[in-house]
Structure 1
């Protein structure tokens, strides 16, 4: 509108300037026509010429208007009818959104009478929504199928069919609808996500990565999210290729690390692939870099057991190397304590395990102390004491997805099928730290209540108790049975007669014969 006003103003100014120019330059115009001489002033001739042109234009407009008036009248009434139809369609869609099925049906019928269905396919949508509100799902599916066959409403119809299939539990049909929609329009987020999860569940990692690239090109997802999902898919493909193609698994895992530098599953997969190629130094370097930024227990175990032929002393040295990279860290101390336990250095193992428990008293630290006690002293009382502390302590972090705990990372959730659902975190419902008078006790309190080593512990016992001379006893172990020794000067008893009892029958005992001492089996 503004441009038209400017053009009109320019034309008016040009005409005014032209007339003023002619007025400043007077002259006469002579015209001989039919033997007659016509003379007039130049400005009058210009004005007459402009008037003739204007009259011709106005006459042509009147003639054209009269000639096209029937079509104009028809278009007017058609447009008015179409406007009424669109108004009814809009009102019906609002009613369907509000849940008023009766009014939505009424508006749908009115729209059909005012607008042709082939010209406005949204009428099918209104009727489908009304059918869904009334619970007529078969009719709604028919409408969605009609929309799916129309190029203009194909995406809308496929989404409706997908939701109906999901409602009925027809997973295979829902996946087919999502696949079809994703192939035709990869920019549809719902279709791309459903197809991506389906291809991931089926192990079609190449197709999933290709679809993800299409989404990124269409700018459906941002760069950070696309990089994260691509790292997950590459790691999953690397895990599948680890046995048959270690080189390909290595390339996929390293590519995933370039996208997500601190992605622990990719770190572990890359290290495993390099170990299979006998590239221990490079794999160790990757594990060390990951340990510096994120000390993960799986990274520590992979690093300590990098070389299968290492002795327990070599593994202890590698564990201490990790401890120097991240000192005063609970994971570093636990890895070193476990390696010291395997090497038989119980004192060092106990010190590091207690230090880890002081930093973060949790289940694994107390279980490790119980293992050390079992290997060192074998005292069941002390073992049970640490096991009791483990029962009261918060649980360790684990791979969790949708409330399920897994012993290893998985690319998709087994519960919902969601991609990248697993997180390394503590299970839900755990106590948030130690309290002295509550469920969890501190390490210092546990050490104060730790029972002393029993006298009958293993040879590695820290405390030994000598037998009292007042009551000499001789302990003999035969087949695990502990019996009390009899005095040397005790009279030798006559053998008891056999009265024919069963093997488990104690036989007949004389009334004046004292009962024999019972043998006690060692349970622990």
Structure 2
């Protein structure tokens, strides 16, 4: 653009000069070798301009002829370089697509057209081709050579870091990341990897210092940097809570300044204040966080802050939390639980029902089952709420990378990612959440309270029981012609064949009278009372069979 403007200005200046001469005519006389030459000023100016242009043209032709060998060499060298870069570009595209054969072919062509010392990307193409072919040792050597060159050091360390992680050599990977972070803290991948490594090993101060360097280098946003620093300070405070409550309190309060809704930091600060017997400041910290993000762990620490409180006192503290955040499911659940401990079943039931209508979940229905069991002992209603708990969504917990934890952790145990845990419902729920209609149906189908059965009055005992008259039992005895003796008395041996039997009806006295007249003969020590058993000393006893009518 500047050259064009300069050319335009020069043309305008020449045109202005010729116009100025045209307005001022004159004659120019020149005496050269005894000859007088006269011409006008316009002609003289035109001759001078033509001579200047001719001289410039001749100079350009001379320079072009003089520098033509160098220009030819430069042309062919540029053409060769362009072909080499074209081969290099095609090879990188082939390596990215996974075409090892094309990548190798383009690598050889690029090496023949471009010097590897002049273009470091050839080393990268060779390493990528080796990775595609599965030659990991060769690729590692290429990356190590790149790491030694100041121009390609960062690229080589990046390749070594990725290969170390792929092979499971986490210590080597962290070493490469630490080296890259020390030499180039502006690299996001190196800073993130080094930060996770220091956090995993508990080097909280080094991690905070590295995070400050990243923030100064504008590697990450200010809000993200402050959040991660608050997480690191909370983890540091958690480690110092047992041995140094004061230091843990200071770190937790600093974390709360950076992230006001960080629940673990508030809990650690409150516990530190409680150990110092400063319940007022502990309550103030918990209340400030409760106003922003009600959390059941905050409620648990707040309600049981003073160990000597009664159940009524804990209920009052729970109601204070409810006053800070009314119509909140966590507030209602906290009050319902405290009311159950205080045996105020009506309040516990009303708060639990309100919480269930806002957000039905497992713990709320289990609490309602506990209320029914403690107040009425009605197992039907208890089983009803237990069934609703099985269908309800699961309670929120600390979840990171698909892993649920009972307590908050600064890093993920799966990937090592910092600030990975979130308070939400865990995954893997079989059935979907209950709808509002289902909640209404659950309350509508609640069975009524079963009334306890009234015990019956005992029947009066009669003064005297009259004896029952037993009518005589009539039996039919099948007997022989000879009279049959009682079976308890041994019978004499019979040699003659028994006569034909005949039936005869006889009267048998009542059982009571028979028991008075004859005492029962025990089985052991006497003969068996089975008519079919032979008696000693006789071949065959008369057969007697009784039939009761």
**Given the two structures, how large is their TM-score scaled by the length of structure 1?**
0.77
Q: How far did 1:73 drift?
A: 2.2
Instruction: Provide the rounded CA distance (Å) in 2 between the counterparts of 1:139 and 1:282.
Output: 62
* Number of the residue aligned with 2:457: 469
Matched residues in 2 for 1:428 and 1:115: separation? 55
Residues in 2 aligned to 1:435 and 1:57: alpha-carbon distance in whole angstroms: 92
Rounded to whole Å, the distance in 2 between the matches of 1:404 and 1:53 is: 86
Question: What displacement does 1:269 show?
Answer: 2.9
Instruction: State the Cα distance separating 1:115 from its structure 2 match.
Output: 0.9
Q: Does residue 319 of the first structure (1) align with residue 318 of the second (2)?
A: yes
CA distance in 1, matches of 2:355, 2:400: 27
Instruction: Report the secondary structure of 1:265's partner residue.
Output: helix
Give CA-to-partner distance per residue, 1:396-443, whole Å, 9 cap, x none.
1111112211111111111221222211111223344337999x9954
Larger radius of gyration: 2
Describe how 1:237-276 pairs up with structure 2 within 5 A.
237-276=236-275
CA contact (8 A) 2:384 2:446 kept: no
Maintained 8 Å contact 1:29/1:42: yes
Sort the Cα spacing of 1:347 and 1:59 in 2 relative to 1 into closer, same or farther, 3 A: same
Asked if 1 retains the 8 angstrom alpha-carbon contact of 2:246 and 2:272, the reply is yes
What corresponds to 1:399 in structure 2?
398
Give runs of aligned pairs for residues 148-297 of structure 1, distance below 5 A. Answer: 148-297=147-296
Unpaired runs of 5+ residues, structure 2, are: 465-521, 524-549
Q: Deviations over 1:346-365 (max 9, x none)?
A: 44334433443344332212
Cross-structure match for 2:510: none
Q: CA 1:40–1:144 in 2, change beyond 3 Å: closer, same or farther?
A: same
Structure 1 range deviating more: 262-271 or 369-378: 369-378
Shift of 1:195: 2.1
Measured against aligned partners, the alpha-carbon deviations of 1:56-103 in whole angstroms (never above 9, x if no partner) come to 444444443343333222222211221221122122222222322222
Partner of 1:330: 329
Quote the offset at 1:380 in angstroms.
6.6
Q: Is the 8 A contact 2:378 2:450 kept in 1?
A: no
2:434 — aligned with what? 434
Give the number of equivalent residue pairs: 463
The equivalent of 2:127 in structure 1 is 128
Cα distance in 2, alignment partners of residues 40 and 269 from structure 1:
105
Give the Cα–Cα distance (whole angstroms) in 2 for the partners of residues 149 and 289 of structure 1.
54
Once the two structures are overlaid, the 10-residue window that deviates more, 226-235 or 128-137, is: 226-235
Query: What's the counterpart of residue 361 of structure 1?
Result: 360
CA RMSD of aligned residues (A): 3.5
> Tell me, which stretches of 5 or more residues in structure 1 are unaligned?
453-462, 473-488, 490-509, 512-524
| Mean CA deviation greater in 136-145 or 374-383 | 374-383
Q: Distance in 2 between matches of 1:210 and 1:32?
A: 90
CA spacing shift, 1:25–1:276, aligned 2, 3 Å = farther
Moved more, 298-307 or 424-433: 424-433
Shift of 1:297: 0.9
Q: Which position in structure 1 is the counterpart of 2:66?
A: 67
Task: Give the Å deviation of 1:10.
Answer: 0.8
Q: 2:34 and 2:217 mapped to 1: Cα distance? A: 79
Q: Measured at CA, do residues 441 and 164 of structure 1 come closer, stay the same or move farther in structure 2, by a change above 3 Å?
A: farther
SS of corresponding position for 1:427: coil
CA contact (8 A) 1:358 1:443 kept: no
Q: What secondary structure does 1:447 align onto?
A: coil
Partner of 2:82: 83
Q: Please state how far the C-alpha of 1:187 moved relative to its aligned partner.
A: 3.3
Change (3 A) 1:316 1:36: same
Cα shift at 1:31: 7.2
How far apart, CA to CA, are the structure 1 residues paired with 2:269 and 2:56?
A: 82
Task: Note the C-alpha offset of 1:243.
Answer: 3.5
Verify the 8 A CA contact 1:389 1:446 in the aligned structure 2.
no
- SS where residue 78 of structure 2 aligns? helix
Residue 190 of structure 2 aligns to a residue whose secondary structure is: helix
In 2, Cα distance between the equivalents of 1:340 and 1:41? 120
Distance in 2, matches of 1:90 and 1:353, equals 67
Aligned to 2:116: 117
- Name the structure 2 match of 1:460: none
Over 3 Å counting, the alpha-carbon distance change for 1:385 and 1:91 in structure 2 is closer
Q: Distance in 2 between matches of 1:147 and 1:312?
A: 70
**Could you say if the C-alpha distance between residues 30 and 282 of structure 1 is closer, same or farther in structure 2, counting changes exceeding 3 Å?**
farther
Q: Deviations over 1:460-485 (max 9, x none)?
A: xxx5x55432269xxxxxxxxxxxxx
Alignment match, 2:298 = 299
What is the aligned partner in structure 1 of residue 498 from structure 2? none
Change (3 A) 1:446 1:281: farther
Residue 446 of structure 2 aligns to a residue whose secondary structure is: helix
Judge conservation of contact 1:231–1:259 (CA < 8 Å) in 2: yes
Distance 1:299 1:74, change over 3 A: same
Q: Which residue of 1 aligns with 2:486?
A: none
Alpha-carbon shift at residue 170 of structure 1 (Å): 0.9
Q: Distance in 2 between matches of 1:201 and 1:436?
A: 44
Distance 1:451 1:155 in 2: 77
**How far does residue 117 in structure 1 lie from its aligned partner after superposition?**
0.8
CA contact (8 A) 2:349 2:371 kept: yes
